[in-house]
């Protein structure tokens, strides 16, 4: 299924120029929404979440939603609540019988209800697509998956069931929404806490792209510092600290340990992000650690926010493009400030599968370039 999804992504040209157009449209809408706040304190969580959800919805489902749409607001809140719920990575994962304990202390029913609701949304997307599907006119990722399903059905006993297809849409919607919007919310917090960083980003953009111009993906090659800020956000933001749990399919030996078949493993990305042997002064937000003495980006194998190996995140190139375009255009348009002068934003977080900042307010003062 993963291979099918990756192929559908490739054919849909995810991470290429076509995707950039979709992202820039959402960037423009977000900038407008933020401008409407007129420099007054507000919580940017929902607007960012909807903008990022719109990117994955446009690419995968062929639709986008208005920021005032109650339905999408509800869906993104559901995803958020689900992924930051500590029980998602708690004992329920290892001891499934805990879901039968009276009074449901691990919130199994609540989590189940949430995931059922999101799956229902994906099911209705599939049904609507089937009704309007035209093999000569493939519109999005869902059409490509239907296409693949139809071809398989023609030739063999299909293993590509509707349930599997819906599960893929569910993972795309979940994986593609909360992770990236959480990274954006960390980015904003970090640059509010480190005003010199946003000033340096802005200066770099002004010198290489132009004041008030829209930053595009092509500009990335001359915006090294901006890129370093995003890398440092991915490290310090520690978005998916335990990656996704995987079950071991056969016994294997790692160093002196035997890892038995059926064991559940949580790869600790957190321990990589904060490894003091690989990163100096690990708890300090310091984008310069990713810039070398010539001002070029310093590449390292020790930063792996999207995990590594055969199951690594399939949305990495999309996420990198989204983070770059949203972050650079936001700082190039607004001065991002704490809710009140002299009030430091809190770095408190929620921790589930995703490690996200607790809701906070900011002010975004528009530059009249």
Which value, in Å, is the radius of gyration of the alpha carbons in the chain? 21
Rounded to a whole number of angstroms, the minimum distance from the CB of residue 3 to ligand HEM is: 10
Answer for which of 176, 287, 345, 356 binds ligand HEM (CB under 6 A) is 176
Is residue 335 involved in binding ligand HEM (CB under 6 A)? no
Instruction: Spell out, one character per residue from 221 to 260, where the chain touches ligand HEM: x when CB under 6 A holds, - when not.
Output: ------------------xx--xx----------------
Q: Which one of 8, 30, 44, 56 is in contact with ligand HEM (CB under 6 A)?
A: 56
**Burial environment of residue 62 by CB neighbours within 10 A (0 to 12, 13 to 18, 19 or more):** middle
C-beta of 215 vs 354, nearer to ligand HEM:
354
**Range in contact with ligand HEM (rule: CB under 6 A) among 37-45, 111-119, 177-185, 325-333:** 177-185
Per-residue binding letters, 13-52, with ligand HEM (x by CB under 6 A): ----------------------------------------
DSSP strand E in the chain: where?
Answer: 246-247, 252-254, 257-259, 264-265, 334-338, 349-351, 355-357, 362-366
Q: Is 313 annotated as a binding residue?
A: yes
In degrees, to the nearest 5, what angle opens at C-alpha 46 toward C-alphas 348 and 42?
Answer: 70
Distance between CA atoms of residues 61 and 124, nearest Å: 11
CA atoms within 13 A on the CB side of 60: 26
The C-alpha atoms of residue 175 and residue 15 are separated, in whole angstroms, by 16
Cβ-based nearer residue to ligand HEM, 13 or 369: 13
Q: What are phi and psi of 281, to 5 degrees?
A: 45, 60
Interface with ligand HEM includes 318 (CB under 6 A)? yes
Annotation: binding site: 313
Applying CB under 6 A, the residues found at the interface with ligand HEM are 2, 56, 171-172, 175-176, 179-180, 183, 239-240, 243-244, 305-307, 311-315, 318-319
């Amino acid at each position: 299924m993963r291979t099918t999804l990756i192929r559908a992504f490739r054919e849909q040209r995810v991470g290429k120029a076509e995707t950039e157009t979709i992202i820039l449209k959402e960037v423009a809408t977000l900038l407008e929404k933020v401008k409407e706040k007129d420099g007054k304190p507000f919580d940017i969580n929902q607007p960012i979440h909807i903008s990022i959800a719109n990117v994955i919805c446009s690419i995968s489902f062929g639709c986008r939603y208005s920021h005032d749409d109650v339905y999408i607001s509800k869906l993104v809140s559901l995803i958020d609540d689900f992924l930051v719920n500590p029980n998602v990575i708690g004992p329920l994962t290892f001891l499934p019988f805990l879901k039968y304990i009276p009074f449901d202390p691990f919130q199994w029913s609540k989590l189940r209800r949430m995931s059922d609701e999101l799956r229902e949304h994906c099911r209705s997307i599939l049904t609507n697509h089937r009704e309007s599907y035209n093999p000569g006119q493939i519109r999005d990722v869902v059409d490509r998956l239907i296409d693949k399903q139809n071809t398989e059905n023609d030739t063999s006993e299909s293993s590509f069931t509707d349930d599997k297809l819906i599960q893929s849409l569910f993972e795309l919607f979940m994986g593609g929404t909360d992770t990236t919007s959480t990274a954006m919310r960390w980015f904003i917090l970090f640059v509010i806490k480190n005003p010199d960083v946003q000033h340096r980003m802005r200066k770099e953009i002004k010198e290489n792209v132009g004041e008030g111009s829209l930053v595009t993906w092509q500009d990335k090659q001359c915006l090294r510092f901006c890129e370093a800020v995003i890398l440092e956000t991915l490290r310090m933001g520690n978005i998916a600290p335990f990656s996704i749990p995987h079950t071991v399919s056969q016994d294997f030996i790692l160093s002196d340990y035997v890892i038995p078949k059926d064991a559940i493993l949580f790869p600790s990305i957190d321990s990589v992000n904060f490894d003091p042997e690989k990163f100096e002064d690990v708890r300090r937000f310091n984008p310069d650690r990713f810039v070398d003495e010539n001002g070029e980006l310093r590449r390292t194998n020790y930063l792996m926010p999207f995990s590594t190996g055969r199951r690594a995140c399939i949305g990495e190139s999309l996420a990198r493009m989204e983070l770059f375009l949203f972050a650079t255009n936001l700082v190039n348009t607004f001065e991002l400030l704490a809710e009140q002068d002299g009030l430091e934003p809190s770095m408190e977080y929620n921790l589930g599968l995703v490690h996200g900042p607790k809701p906070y307010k900011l002010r975004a003062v528009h530059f009249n370039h």
